[in-house]
Structure 1
């Protein structure tokens, strides 16, 4: 970390069902246990489920920020695990794609957090839709989650390809989830690396770690409790803790243009200049 500038990183995937939201929530728990100030933004705006994973039922969410004039402080929700969430809505068509005006509303609201947090974790939707690409572009770092399933690998490559060719994003950090072994995790990462190296010039892929298949994770999901809180010594929990420690060594990019200090200001201004 540099100064009090928050590190904004996305947790993203090409395919749904790879455990992305669960990883986001448990990273938030682990970073909070390390004394870090964390906000978890549920950026899967149309199919939000961060609150479900945490066993919470917030009265307000980002729909109220965009459509009801609520301020961020009211939407921000304290969890029992030492961090806050910005919950989104589920099954609301108006949230499926943000307008430039809504992006500006969220941008202005986010300024409230700038000197109050250390990490903003952005749990994106899956795939290559507009919101997914937008939030990934907004983040300083991107944690790409995949599993050993062939469809997960194919869809992860599709996301990397679109981000690289259409938006000049060159660096991704990779976590392989629900892996039967470290060898299997590194094999699937190797396949993604080989495909990117062969077809895409200038891509940097960093294998962060793998999270083993662990029955504790499913038990925690059923109970709607973060698995690293329910069973801190479980294999998956220990790996999440290791990944969180690695994240604390990531530096915020010190080279930011002008007074563009936080979240997606640069991206939004570029979008407005093109319009």
Structure 2
């Protein structure tokens, strides 16, 4: 998909009409959930935050942005007939891929085992991000579940969001890789504010201590502001929910981890919506430009 492609549905809408459509659509807060190391529970966090936000009355969309090894649909026991691979091949639009998850959570599935999707060019990443402007469903929040690491795909999706949540667990490799990711985001992509979520920790005190360990090193060597979003405790019910292909917030809503996800979602709900475009590649940038014009 090319950002200049004239076959994009939005390109066939007269400019004035497109502006009127955008005026009726509020800005979307885009939150990227990522990690330096795989296996820290990042996708579980994305899924359960999305479900918790939907249950609270928000209108969230979850994008599976692990483009070559997608598994959000598998975690929810859903079957995707169309994926982002079909969108990139021009076989369908983004709206045609959306699956309905618990509480009305929308899910944009990616493909698994398709190497070319994990190796998209920078121009293809730009085209994919811009294509989200065609989605016309009620929407106020989008969660982007990336792959782990510091690939161009991960960095671009983080840069195109208003907020970045880095998931870290209490393992030396997880901490080291989280720091490396934050460093690259700051120095190469200008991301200077990061939320840290500590996952599968033994207590709130352990979660806070883990965050402070990462923050001390970042404060010393990086020009980036870290904020502590919170923690998810180690919970046997979370493992059981994964085996059942259900979010723990649905399968075991009274469990410690489900309560933690609802609390985290409540904090995210209180974040202010984006006020204006920042002047670089962003999801739903047309809505922010329009909202800024109306505010002026």
TM-score, scaled to structure 1: 0.90
Count of residues in Structure 1 that have an aligned counterpart in Structure 2: 262
**Structure 1 segments of 4 or more deviating over 4 A?**
none
Write the distance in 1 (CA, Å) between the matches of 2:163 and 2:152. Answer: 18
Secondary structure of the residue aligned to 2:103 is coil
> Within the alignment, does 1:242 sit opposite 2:245 as a pair?
no
Counterpart position of 2:273: 252
Write the distance in 2 (CA, Å) between the matches of 1:55 and 1:244. Answer: 23
> Within the alignment, does 1:73 sit opposite 2:95 as a pair?
yes
Secondary structure of the residue aligned to 1:159 is helix
> Within the alignment, does 1:223 sit opposite 2:244 as a pair?
yes
Residues 161-206 of structure 1 deviation map (CA, whole Å, 9 limit, x = unaligned)? 00111122110011100001112111111110010011113x1111
Write the distance in 1 (CA, Å) between the matches of 2:116 and 2:240. Answer: 33
Write the distance in 2 (CA, Å) between the matches of 1:108 and 1:170. Answer: 23
> Within the alignment, does 1:39 sit opposite 2:29 as a pair?
no
> Within the alignment, does 1:157 sit opposite 2:157 as a pair?
no
Secondary structure of the residue aligned to 2:77 is coil
Secondary structure of the residue aligned to 1:96 is helix
Counterpart position of 2:115: 93
* 1:136–1:104 distance in 2 versus 1, CA, 3 Å: closer
- After TM superposition, the structure 1 stretch with the greater mean CA deviation from structure 2, 112-121 or 125-134, is 112-121
Secondary structure of the residue aligned to 2:88 is helix
Say which of 147, 153, 162 aligns to 1:125. Answer: 147
Write the distance in 2 (CA, Å) between the matches of 1:145 and 1:107. Answer: 23
* 1:257–1:197 distance in 2 versus 1, CA, 3 Å: closer
* 1:88–1:60 distance in 2 versus 1, CA, 3 Å: same
Counterpart position of 2:235: 214
Per-residue deviation at 1:80? 3.9
Can you give the 5+ residue segments of structure 2 that lack an aligned partner in the other structure?
A: 1-24, 287-296
Write the distance in 1 (CA, Å) between the matches of 2:202 and 2:166. Answer: 18
Contact 2:161 2:282 in 1 (8 A): no
From the CA coordinates, give the structure whose radius of gyration is larger.
2
Write the distance in 2 (CA, Å) between the matches of 1:251 and 1:98. Answer: 32
* 1:193–1:80 distance in 2 versus 1, CA, 3 Å: closer
Per-residue deviation at 1:69? 2.7
Say which of 248, 254, 263 aligns to 2:283. Answer: 263
Counterpart position of 1:271: none
> Within the alignment, does 1:145 sit opposite 2:189 as a pair?
no
Contact 2:65 2:146 in 1 (8 A): yes
TM-score, scaled to structure 2: 0.84
Per-residue deviation at 1:105? 3.5
Write the distance in 1 (CA, Å) between the matches of 2:185 and 2:271. Answer: 21
Contact 1:4 1:115 in 2 (8 A): no
Contact 2:34 2:165 in 1 (8 A): yes
Contact 2:43 2:72 in 1 (8 A): yes
